[in-house]
Amino acid sequence: MGDNSVESRSRAEQPGESWSDGYWWSRDGLRLHYRDYGGRDDLPPVICLPGLTRNARDFETLAAHIAPGRRVICPEYRGRGDSAYAKDVMSYVPLSYAQDVEALLQELEITRFALIGTSLGGIVSMLLASTWPGRIEGVVLNDIGPEIAPDGLKRIQSYVGEGRSFESWAHAGRAQEELNGAIYPDWQLSDWIRFAKRTYKLTSKGRIVQDYDTRIAEPFEVPGSATGVDLWPALRAMADVPVLIVRGETSDILSADVAARMLSMLRKGRLETVAAIGHAPTLDEGEAVRAIDGFLADIAAQPAAL
C-alpha cells in the first residue's frame, strides 16, 4: 500500500491544458487519483469535486480557465476514473468521500481553500465546509442543496450502475443525448461526444464503458443514503461562508424554492441561474464561468477568517 504519502506526479498535457497526475491513499488503503493544475501559491487553491458518476475530466475546461491564476485540484472519488474501486460498497457514500478529500488536503498540507462542487460534489463540499468553516475561503454549489427534489433523485437512481458499453464515441454520445437531451436542449452531436468522453473510457478490448464502478449504485438501496445526513444543519454552519449557488433553470434536483431558502440562510450567499439548462450545468456555460470568476475575485479580496 505504501506510506500514505502523496506520490510524485507525472506531467500530462493536452492542447491548451496542463496538469499533473497525483495519487494519495485513503485511510482504508485505497490509492486515489487527482489532477493538479498548477497556479499561484499566494492564494488558496480551488478544490473541484464532481458529481456521482463523474470524474476529474468534468472540470477540464473550467480548471484550465482558472489556472494559472490559482492552483486547481480535481480529486476523483473512490470508484471513479483512475481512483481504486472499493471492496466495501457501503463506503460509496458522501461521508467517505469527504474523509478521502480530508486525507488529500492533509497530505498536501492545504489548510485554506475554496470549493467548487457539482451535485454530489456539492454535498461533499457542504460536509467539508460545515466541519471547519474557518478554513473555507468560499464554496460554489453547482445545482445542489440540502434538499434533493424526489423526481430528480428518482431519475438518477434509474440509470446509475447500468453498465452499458458502446462500440464508438458517436454511439456513446447518442446514448447520452437520449438520456439527457432535455437537460441540454441546444447541444449538437459534438457536444454529446465531448460529454461522453468525460464520462466513459475506452477499454483494451475497444469497447467504450462507464468510467466508474457500477456498484456505486448499491448504497442507494439503503434509505437516506443519497445525502447520508440531514444537510440543513451543515448549511446553517456555513452562514458566514461566501457561497455561490449555480442552478440550472430547469433543474429537477435543486428547486427554486430550496435555492431561495438557502439564500435566506447564507449571509454571504448569491445565486446564478443558467438559462435553459437542467441538472446540472457543466460550468462551461458563459454565465456560469463569469459568475465563478467574479466570485473567486471577490473572495480573494476579502480578509481571511480567523
In the chain, % of residues over pLDDT 70: 92
Q: Mean pLDDT across the stretch 247-270?
A: 98
Q: Mean pLDDT across the stretch 76-104?
A: 97
Q: Where are the alpha helices (DSSP H) in the chain?
A: 60-66, 94-107, 120-131, 150-159, 169-180, 189-199, 232-237, 256-265, 286-300
Residues contacting 132, CB < 8 A, separation 6+: none
Q: Is the pLDDT of residue 14 over 70?
A: no
Q: Is the pLDDT of residue 304 over 90?
A: no
pLDDT at position 16: 43
- Give the integer Cα–Cα distance in Å for 283 and 51: 12
Q: Which of 34, 48, 19 has its CA nearest to residue 246?
A: 48
Which range is least confidently modeled, 35-39, 187-191, 302-306? 302-306
Q: Answer whether 80's CB lies under 8 Å from 97's CB.
A: no
Q: Mean pLDDT across the stretch 134-140?
A: 95
Q: Is the pLDDT of residue 59 over 70?
A: yes
Q: Is the pLDDT of residue 73 over 60?
A: yes
Query: What dotted CATH number matches 10-160+224-300?
Result: 3.40.50.1820
Q: Is the pLDDT of residue 10 over 70?
A: no
Indicate the pTM of the whole model: 0.93
pLDDT band, residue 223 (cuts 50/70/90): low
Q: Is the pLDDT of residue 52 over 50?
A: yes
pLDDT at position 226: 58
Model pLDDT for residues 152-189, shown as the tens digit of each residue: 988 988 888 787 899 999 999 999 999 999 999 999 99
pLDDT band, residue 17 (cuts 50/70/90): low
CA dihedral sign, ordered 275, 278, 281, 282: negative
Query: Cell match 449504485: residue?
Result: 217
- Residue 242 Cα distances to 102, 103, 272, 298, angstroms: 20, 24, 14, 9
More confident residue, 295 or 223: 295
More confident residue, 71 or 302: 71
Structural domain spans, the chain: 10-160+224-300
As a whole number, the mean pLDDT across the chain is: 91
pLDDT band, residue 227 (cuts 50/70/90): low
Q: Which of 202, 209, 194, 212 has its CA nearest to residue 164?
A: 209
